[in-house]
Structure 1
Amino acid sequence: MTGNDDKILELLAQGRLALSKKAIMVNFELSGIDISYSTVKRRLPMLEDAGLVELVREQGGYYRITDQGISYLNEEFEPPEI
């Protein structure tokens, strides 16, 4: 897990919304968080493989945090090394 992974999960945890990769990037830009689109694009599938996020719509690539992802943020779960 990286600090960028935590930031992605924290954003998705806000309201438990489903967001596209682009929407995640725009929210980071608006918040002054320096994470590139390529990082978001690369890390989301890894977070999905770890069970922390799920792809809820193929078209547009919308992701949302899972209950396991919330448990990780609450320090109740340690995911496998990704």
Structure 2
Amino acid sequence: MTRADDAILEFLLNEGNRPLVANPSTVEANIDYKISHVRRRLRALQDGGLVEYYDKDRGLYRISDQGQAYLEGELESEDLEPS
């Protein structure tokens, strides 16, 4: 897990509101990482089960239940599959 991973997950969680559905460009526009890095990290987070496609054809992601559990401290990074 990287700082970018945490920033992506926190953005998608949209704490205090409804979780967001976003494409990599929208994520990149709202956090401090370049689009190429955001795309790489979204794929890694998807491989680890922390994000999932909301609409694969449109490239829209959302945080998964496992991603929410990670942010809530219910899962440690050691418990996640390597990505």
Same fold (TM over 0.5): yes
Q: Which runs of 5+ in 1 are unaligned?
A: 29-33
How much has 1:17 moved relative to structure 2?
A: 1.3
Report the equivalent of 1:81.
82
How much has 1:54 moved relative to structure 2?
A: 0.3
TM-score by structure 1 length?
Answer: 0.86
Report the equivalent of 2:41.
43
- Sequence identity of aligned pairs in percent? 43
Equivalent position SS for 2:57: coil
1:3-23 per-residue CA deviation (whole Å, 9 max, x = no partner) reads: 110000000000211101111
Number of residue equivalences: 77
Report the equivalent of 1:5.
5
Superposition pairs for residues 20-31 of structure 1, below 5 Å?
Answer: 20-28=23-31
Cα RMSD between the aligned structures? 1.1
Q: Which runs of 5+ in 2 are unaligned?
A: none
- The list of structure 1 runs, each at least 4 consecutive aligned residues, that deviate by more than 3 angstroms after superposition, is none
TM-score by structure 2 length?
Answer: 0.85
Report the equivalent of 1:31.
none
